[in-house]
Amino acid sequence: MMEWLKRFWTQPSKAYRNAFIAFFLLGVHFVYPSLLYAFAPEKPLAQLFWAGQTFFHQEYPLSEQSVIWRVLGAGNVFTLGLMCFMLAVNPKRFYPVLIPLCVMKAFASIGFLISFLSGAGGIHYGMFLGIFLWDGINVLMFLFFAPRARRALLQPGAPRPLPYWFAGA
């Protein structure tokens, strides 16, 4: 079992290895909450309420009871996770998904900044600024890791992407 981990960690392409780790963790970061949005929406909302109170001393000013937007949000966030997993597995083959991944996440990031600046719900809710920053960092991570991994895999003699180190090929 540990042999595949050793092959993965010591592979010749550090850029691919690092991108795999980053995109795998980002994929989990999106898929897990998307399932909560779909099946237990009270949990992420409670986290949002807690964070707003803890860091900004603000009550969340809006009602979040819409099934339509919850389902759409869950689907969009799940799609972000899928695109991250695709880039983790093979950034050379799935490089084109970087564009919709960045567009979807950057749009959300800018939307939260606009909501913060415009005072959505009657206040400038601080968590919206925090979400804008976090989503922006996610986009920067996409743009940092994917091109480097793709370039590394395009080099002569580059390793094959997953599952070469997993399967022992």
Those residues whose C-beta lies under 8 Å from the C-beta of residue 33, and which sit 6 or more positions away, are 44, 77
pLDDT band at residue 1 under the 50/70/90 scheme? low
Tokens of 56: 């900004």
Per-residue pLDDT averaged across 28-40, rounded? 95
pLDDT tens for each residue of 113-123: 999 999 887 78
**Residue 66 CB neighbours (<10 A):** 11
pLDDT tens for each residue of 57-101: 998 878 888 889 889 999 999 999 999 999 999 999 999 999 999
Q: What is the pLDDT of residue 168?
A: 46
User: Whole-prediction pTM value?
Assistant: 0.89
Amino acid at 131: I
Which run of H or of E encompasses 93?
Answer: none
pLDDT tens for each residue of 129-147: 999 999 999 999 999 999 9
Q: Is 119 left (phi over 0), alpha (psi -120 to 50) or beta?
A: left
Tokens of 41: 């929406």
Residue 169 pLDDT greater than 90, yes or no = no
Tokens of 135: 């989503």
Distance of alpha carbon 169 from alpha carbon 167, whole angstroms:
5
